Chain A
Amino acid sequence: EAGVAQSPRYKIIEKRQSVAFWCNPISGHATLYWYQQILGQGPKLLIQFQNNGVVDDSQLPKDRFSAERLKGVDSTLKIQPAKLEDSAVYLCASSLERVSGYTFGSGTRLTVV
């Protein structure tokens, strides 16, 4: 089966600019997650979707981050405006069932300068 696809792989932007990341989960996986992984740390959940509805966005900085999952398949995560501390790898993951664990994409490495 094809894995979780993410693009772009790398992005460098200046602070206060905006950026968007795209994720295509494994076909049939209803649950989609966006995680932020800062260098030297474990992934931290930003938002979880079940089909096209938000299940948990309690750790999403909503003043600058937004995410959507139209039609319950692809998802985009946007940051506007970016701050230096947003430099991290943004990982998308999907799962069929929570108990089976996630399948992660390779991530988008964001550098804010």
Chain B
Amino acid sequence: QKEVEQDPGPLSVPEGAIVSLNCTYSNSAFQYFMWYRQYSRKGPELLMYTYSSGNKEDGRFTAQVDKSSKYISLFIRDSQPSDSATYLCAMSTNTGNQFYFGTGTSLTVIP
């Protein structure tokens, strides 16, 4: 079983829609949870990070962590064509050296 599972999509939505991106994980020791956005032929760019459980909001983006279900989500409100990219979740333990990444979900927002 992979450490982190993420539906690769692709996901296609109309402009203005609410987008929900999700990851599940198996390691209950994960405490740091991050979302990265990766445009084509670019490196991943950090969008959001949360520690332990709960919600975090930043503009149109909301990250949620449900540690009891080992499930994290990223919501994008009022999606824009510029949000079209691949979204990667990543997570780590308190003491671990590395972040474990999901495979990424490809999102296209249609004008």
The number of inter-chain residue pairs (CB within 8 angstroms) is 55
Number of interface residues of B (CB under 8 A): 24
User: Could you tell me the distance between the alpha carbons of A104 and B101 in the complex, rounded to whole angstroms?
Assistant: 14
CB of A25 to closest CB in B, whole Å: 12
User: Could you tell me the distance between the alpha carbons of A111 and B99 in the complex, rounded to whole angstroms?
Assistant: 25
User: Could you tell me the distance between the alpha carbons of A33 and B43 in the complex, rounded to whole angstroms?
Assistant: 13
Task: State the majority secondary structure of interface residues on B.
Answer: strand
B49 in contact with A44 (CB, 8 Å): no
Measuring CB to CB, which residues of chain B are less than 8 angstroms from any residue of chain A? 4, 6, 8, 32, 34, 36, 41-46, 49, 51, 88, 90, 92, 97-99, 101-104
Further pairs besides A91-B43, A91-B44, A107-B42: 7, Cβ < 8 Å: A42-B4, A44-B101, A56-B97, A100-B49, A105-B43, A107-B43, A109-B41
